[in-house]
Amino acid sequence: MHIGCPTEIKPQEYRVGLTPNAAREAVAHGHRVTLQAGAGQGAGFTDHDYVEAGAVVVDTAEEVFATADMIVKVKEPQAVERKMLREGQLLFTYLHLAPDPEQTHDLLASGCTAIAYETVTDSSGGLPLLAPMSEVAGRLAPQVGAWTLQKANGGRGVLMGGVPGVSPARVVVIGGGVVGTHAARVAAGMGADVTVLDRSLPRMRYLDDTFSGVFKTSFASAGNTAELVAEADMVVGAVLIPGAAAPKLVTRAQLSTMKPGAAIVDVAIDQGGCFETSRATTHDDPIYDVDGIMHYCVANMPGAVARTSTIALGNATMPFMLALADKGWREACADDPHLMAGLNVHAGKLTYFAVGKALGIDVIAPSLALKQ
């Protein structure tokens, strides 16, 4: 198969769909890899790295899209990229179609087959191509929160680990899933006093069994949450209700109960955020102040550490990318129901029910698409 990887063009996106190591494996499997010049630059990979891996480097995205059988990317194709997709071409990337009717209509019109990273599943009910980015955002949250707490940034001027004779920062993490667990581990590693709130008892049992002594757990009742938030130096928002907007768990009125200069890091901002006062920010201007509480609400946190994120994403996508290239998408999806769960669009038809429901578009079963 001829695999193509263009440079990401969404603003502030520095990741790349294929690492040199992924390109090397694809070439070893007998495939052809074409990369747009400079595509890996934001993640610290040179064109030479890809050439050494056996890829061909071309100047323009047009050349990549015109020749490749499968396009491997990171972000959803932008309008100008969607115009370059063609019938029968395979697209493997994050899509997030449900809130994006324009993109959905363009993909349907293109006739391409699109497999979305975010809906590929695994045998434990997880989302293996989303998890690495949650791991990155989770581990980054205490790091950016610690920076936000610094006086020059409007913060409380509290050091995460304290020093001998001075108490460490109190960190409260709301939501103990992938983001929350990684945030709690790193915050605890920095020496902070950490409590994770969740509403799932099985999840808290798991956290307690695994991390007892590293951080505490507490049930996320409204009362408990209010009490812990009021005592915190940093609160990390990490809740997710699959398929729904994040619940607002901390109101604006509650900010007045918090310590002046405390930091909120709302990682769940990509689902609307779990604080009433959260609004999405960018890496250029990441923090803002509401009632003396500093908010960090960057919607694409992994972009700040593009190299780590690219490699983590590449590790997770590589087996699927190779299966698609080795077998073709029909056989690869027929063999693996978890990959089949990623199929969102085929030949002008939607194949993912939740997207169809959100956008009011008819859907065909993915199994039917395999036969078309």
Ligand X SMILES: NC(=O)c1ccc[n+]([C@@H]2O[C@H](COP(=O)([O-])OP(=O)(O)OC[C@H]3O[C@@H](n4cnc5c(N)ncnc54)[C@H](O)[C@@H]3O)[C@@H](O)[C@H]2O)c1
Taking CB under 6 A as the criterion, the residue among 2, 10, 96, 199 binding ligand X is 199
Would you tell me how many other CB atoms lie within 10 Å of the CB of residue 49? 17
- Kindly state the smallest distance separating residue 65's Cβ from ligand X, in Å: 27
Reading phi first (left if > 0) and then psi (alpha if -120 to 50, else beta), residue 251 is in beta
Does residue 267 bind ligand X (CB under 6 A)?
Answer: yes
Contacts of 19 (CB under 8 A, 6+ apart): 40, 43, 45, 310, 311, 314
Does residue 241 bind ligand X (CB under 6 A)?
Answer: yes
Active site residue 270: yes
Distance CA 312, CA 102 (A): 29
Does residue 178 bind ligand X (CB under 6 A)?
Answer: yes
Does residue 175 bind ligand X (CB under 6 A)?
Answer: yes
Tell me whether residue 34 or residue 134 sits nearer to ligand X (CB atom). Answer: 134
Taking CB under 6 A as the criterion, the residue among 190, 239, 263, 350 binding ligand X is 239
Does residue 247 bind ligand X (CB under 6 A)?
Answer: yes
Tell me whether residue 7 or residue 309 sits nearer to ligand X (CB atom). Answer: 309
Does residue 179 bind ligand X (CB under 6 A)?
Answer: yes
Residue among 193, 198, 266, 270 flagged as catalytic: 270
- Kindly state the smallest distance separating residue 206's Cβ from ligand X, in Å: 10
Tell me whether residue 57 or residue 306 sits nearer to ligand X (CB atom). Answer: 306
Taking CB under 6 A as the criterion, the residue among 240, 264, 341, 369 binding ligand X is 240
Active site residue 31: no
Stretch binding ligand X (CB under 6 A), from 30-38, 130-138, 158-166, 282-290: 130-138
- Kindly state the smallest distance separating residue 63's Cβ from ligand X, in Å: 31
Would you tell me how many other CB atoms lie within 10 Å of the CB of residue 229? 22
Residue among 2, 96, 105, 338 flagged as catalytic: 96
Distance CA 99, CA 57 (A): 34
Which tokens go with 316? 């997770």
Number of residues that bind ligand X (CB under 6 A): 32
Sign of CA dihedral 146, 148, 151, 157: negative
Contacts of 33 (CB under 8 A, 6+ apart): 3, 4, 5, 18, 23, 26, 27, 50, 53, 54, 55, 56
Site string for ligand X, 276-315 (x = CB under 6 A): -----------------------xxxx-------------
Tell me whether residue 145 or residue 175 sits nearer to ligand X (CB atom). Answer: 175
Stretch binding ligand X (CB under 6 A), from 10-18, 48-56, 78-86, 240-248: 240-248
98 neighbors 355 (Cβ within 8 angstroms): yes
- Kindly state the smallest distance separating residue 236's Cβ from ligand X, in Å: 10
Tell me whether residue 3 or residue 274 sits nearer to ligand X (CB atom). Answer: 274
Interactions with ligand X, residue window 202-231 (CB under 6 A)? 203, 220
Tell me whether residue 183 or residue 192 sits nearer to ligand X (CB atom). Answer: 183
Does residue 193 bind ligand X (CB under 6 A)?
Answer: no
Helix, strand, or coil here: 87?
coil
Taking CB under 6 A as the criterion, the residue among 98, 112, 197, 255 binding ligand X is 197
Shortest-Cβ-distance residue relative to ligand X? 177
Helix, strand, or coil here: 107?
helix
Contacts of 359 (CB under 8 A, 6+ apart): 97, 98, 101, 104, 350
Relative to beta strand 113-116, strand 349-350 is unpaired
126 neighbors 134 (Cβ within 8 angstroms): no
Cα radius of gyration rounded to whole Å, the chain: 22
Q: Select from 64, 67, 13, 65 the least CA-distant residue to 40.
A: 13
State the catalytic residues: 96, 270
Which residues make up the interface to ligand X (CB under 6 A)? 133-134, 137, 174-180, 197-200, 203, 220, 238-241, 246-247, 249, 267-271, 299-302
